[in-house]
Amino acid sequence: MKCPPALPTNFPRDSKKREFQKNILFQKPPNGESVPRDFLVWSFSSAALLCFPCSVFSKQGAASESSLLFRWNGGIKDNWRKLYDRVSSHQGSQIHQKYYLDWKTCLASLADPTEIDSSLQKAITAEGAKWRKTLRGILDVTLFLASRNLAFRDHLVNVARHQQEGSRMQAHYLSWQSQNEFIKECASIVKESVLKEIKSSIYYTIITDGTPDESHTEQINFVLRFVFFKTDEKKWEIRERFLGVEDMEKKKGVDITNLIFDVLAREKIDLQNCRGQGYDNGSNMAGTYIGAQALVLKKNSMAVYVPCSAHSLNLAGVHAAESSAEMKTFFGNIQVLFVFFSCSPARC
């Protein structure tokens, strides 16, 4: 348990512009000494005076705990009238004296722990270490399966069996919610490292491409290519890093361009440091006037557009096949069948 925070040097005036009575911070016993009231604390969030031990040990709603110095009552604020009398009255109450004694006893036990306290703390530490080790193992398994697009099998079967039998189980962290949370947290760490590399390299090339997923939702992925200096090996290295996937409802060049701008702004990547663009040969991406590359060039004339070689080779193959009537008919029938089955999941 921590000690109460230090009191401020300057207290605000109350609603009637009365000054705070700093003499309440000390009490004077019959021997004439000045003893600080160490139980008084100041809440900066609510601008109120509170009693620290009563705030910690009291139970909210107890009938006998009516003093405003209890935290759940909000503390004394906005009214310094008769403040000394109110604090003195609280200090003399039996409930305050009980909580004050509990507080001092707790501090003494923490400062000089007994053998029982020490053994209990060791047991708590060992239990925490055991569960951290268990959680690390589950996390390693989750990442291993996620990277290979595999699912939990025997693990979840055993969990379901124990739950059906009604046996008491501790947290197993094997639910799909836990797995997704693990993956999300790991992804955020990886993304943070990727962004750090990109920003340290300054200049980059952006590469995007869109494709529908199994739910027929159009998505566009973002990849950044840059030259990274490896300080430990003292050499430069060309790297490509996956930045993320975004849903894309509209396919016009201006809509894709706005999405690119939004993603870069969200990740705090300066568009003016872009030195290249890599897209497919579609008119919405490669268009000379309203394509994404042309709209990006208007914002940054240094972002040179280079068509994707793989897409260009694919177009060359398509045009070569179209020169043959037999090949065109064959691939045309394949395309019709694909469209027929892909548009209706019930037919698959």
Q: Which of 248, 288, 244 is nearest to 269 (CA)?
A: 244
Q: Which of 111, 103, 107, 1 is nearest to 51 (CA)?
A: 103
- Per the structure block, which two tokens stand in for 324? 């043959």
Q: How many other CB atoms are there within 10 angstroms of residue 161's CB atom?
A: 10
Q: Which residues contact 98 (CB under 8 A, 6 or more apart)?
A: none
Q: Are 259 and 190 in contact (CB under 8 A)?
A: no
Residue 211 lies in a domain: yes
Backbone angles phi, psi at 62, to 5 degrees: -65, 135
**How far is CA 273 from each of CA 68, 158, 191, 204, 286, rounded to the nearest angstrom?**
59, 53, 19, 7, 20
Q: How many other CB atoms are there within 10 angstroms of residue 296's CB atom?
A: 22
- 160 and 104: one domain? no
- 272 and 223: one domain? yes
Domain extent at residue 128: 117-174
- 54 and 134: one domain? no
Last-in-domain residue among 111, 134, 154:
111
Residue 130 lies in a domain: yes
State how beta strands 274-278 and 304-305 pair. parallel
- 244 and 296: one domain? yes
Residue 184 lies in a domain: no
The region, left, alpha or beta by phi > 0 then psi within -120 to 50, assigned to residue 335 is alpha
- 209 and 299: one domain? yes
Number of domains in the chain: 4
Instruction: Kindly give the confidence (pLDDT) of every residue in the chain, 348 residues in length, as a single tens digit, with 9 standing for 90 and above.
Output: 555 556 777 788 887 888 888 888 888 877 778 888 888 888 877 778 888 888 888 776 554 556 777 765 667 777 788 888 888 888 888 888 999 998 888 887 777 666 666 777 788 888 888 888 888 888 888 778 877 878 776 666 666 666 666 655 556 677 777 778 888 888 888 889 999 999 999 999 999 988 777 677 788 889 999 999 988 888 999 999 988 888 887 788 898 899 999 999 999 999 999 999 998 888 888 888 888 899 999 999 999 998 877 777 877 877 787 788 888 888 888 888 888 877 655 544
Domain of 216: which CATH number? 3.30.420
Q: What is the DSSP letter of 273?
A: G
- 28 and 104: one domain? yes
**What's the rounded Cα separation, in Å, for the pair 292 and 255?**
8
**What's the rounded Cα separation, in Å, for the pair 47 and 74?**
10
Residue 106 lies in a domain: yes
Q: What is the pTM of this model?
A: 0.52
- Per the structure block, which two tokens stand in for 313? 């080779």
Backbone angles phi, psi at 218, to 5 degrees: -70, 130
- Per the structure block, which two tokens stand in for 187? 């992804």
Residue 179 lies in a domain: no
- 273 and 258: one domain? yes
**What's the rounded Cα separation, in Å, for the pair 330 and 196?**
49
Last-in-domain residue among 111, 138, 160:
111
- 50 and 140: one domain? no
Residue 301 lies in a domain: yes
- 125 and 85: one domain? no
Residue 279 lies in a domain: yes
